[in-house]
Amino acid sequence: MSVKYVPVQWNSNKYWYDLALIALVATYILVFLNIAPQYLDHSKPTDGSIVRARAFGTCAFLMLTAILCIGPLARFDRRFLPLLYNRRHFGVLTAIVALSHALFVLDWYFNYSPYPKLEGLLGANTSYGQVLGFPFEIFGVFGLLCLGILAATSHDFWLSFLTPRVWKAMHYLIYPTYLAIVAHVALGALQSQNNPTFSLLVGVSVALVCGLHALAAWKEHSPAKSVRAADDWFVVGDVSEIAEGRAKIAVLESGDRVAVFRHEAKLSAISNACAHQNGPLGEGRIVDGCVTCPWHGFQYRIADGCSPAPFTEKVPTYRLRLDGTTVMVDPKPNAPGEYVQPVPVPEAVS
């Protein structure tokens, strides 16, 4: 994988991932269509078209909730990483399901409108000055447009064309999208039914998304900064604290994070921020001599911070030394891709 546009071939993991997603979506919709109507009481009778619209709508909402939970969950448990690697596929399928919901709504509620369907949707209710009866459709339209933009620009071509910084900033739209969908649901579907099941589901979803992101943010900012020594180097910790094939992250006074890796009885240090999307390299593992970013699989040699050929990504390296068994790091980063001789680990602590 690379921030330079290189076609990525499909593999068995991607096929199984997508097949599992499609199977889960199909199962949910079939179960909803056949079971949900008898349990979800509404203030007014509903027919098959409305139930189908709500089946796809609730499915899209739950899928969006899952997408937003995968990232923080992967920070706490590495078993979620396979879900994270192909999360873009999840997003594209969510956009398709949400679009299906919108088409069902337009075909049913505005099929006989004297105006074009979209014009009828946006012009049927303009009571923006009240909460009860607020035109919630506008939030759904905004959310659907955002999902469409995110799905259309999910391919790595756009990552290269727009640059990683712009692409990442654009894909932060997922958060206002989620807020818009929650508002769309709260001001719309939740006001038209008597059964509290869906209200509880929405509440749990919001609590999960907000809670997991708050915990992940706390984990990101909770590590104490490394101690500065007399010669301005920083203490990383004892060499025994760094497991073979893993890293310990040092937090400098500047806020920069340094990942100090132990590999084949030697220590090397690189920036903790992946060149792709600033993924935490220090949480990755070493495969074939390269650290693998846990977010999207980008790889870097730990001695020089370079991606293996033919890829061209580079991250800064740092100088290390040992004072006894205490690992020290120079806070001044080297140029991205600059080779630094690894520091041998003493045999006594090997």
* pLDDT tens digits, 67-112: 999 988 987 887 887 787 778 899 999 999 999 999 998 888 777 7
pLDDT digits (tens, 9 = 90+) for 166-187: 888 898 999 999 999 999 998 8
Query: Which residue spans within 213-278 are E strands per DSSP?
Result: 227-228, 234-238, 247-251, 257-263, 266-271
Phi, psi of 268 (to 5 degrees): -140, 155
CATH topology of domain 227-349: Rieske Iron-sulfur Protein (2.102.10)
pLDDT at position 305 is 95
Q: Cα–Cα distance between 31 and 152 in angstroms, integer?
A: 30
The answer to whether residue 5 scores a pLDDT higher than 90 is: no
Q: Which of 4-13, 232-241, 294-303 has the lowest mean pLDDT?
A: 4-13
CA distances from 210 to 4, 74, 94, 175 (A): 34, 15, 20, 11
pLDDT band at 39 (very low <50, low <70, confident <90, very high): low
Mean pLDDT of 17-37: 90
Top-ranked range on mean pLDDT: pick from 161-165, 282-286, 315-319: 315-319
How far apart CA 25 and CA 38 sit, in angstroms, is: 20
- Rounded-to-integer distance, Cα 85 and Cα 88, Å: 8
Report the distance separating Cα 284 and Cα 174, nearest Å.
25
Q: What percent of the chain has pLDDT over 90?
A: 43
In this predicted model, what pLDDT tens digit does every residue of 182-225 receive, in sequence order? 999 988 877 766 667 778 889 999 999 999 999 988 876 665 66
CA 321 – CA 342 distance, rounded (Å): 9
Q: Report the mean per-residue pLDDT for the chain.
A: 85
Q: Which residue has the higher pLDDT, 133 or 273?
A: 273
Domain spans of the chain?
12-221, 227-349
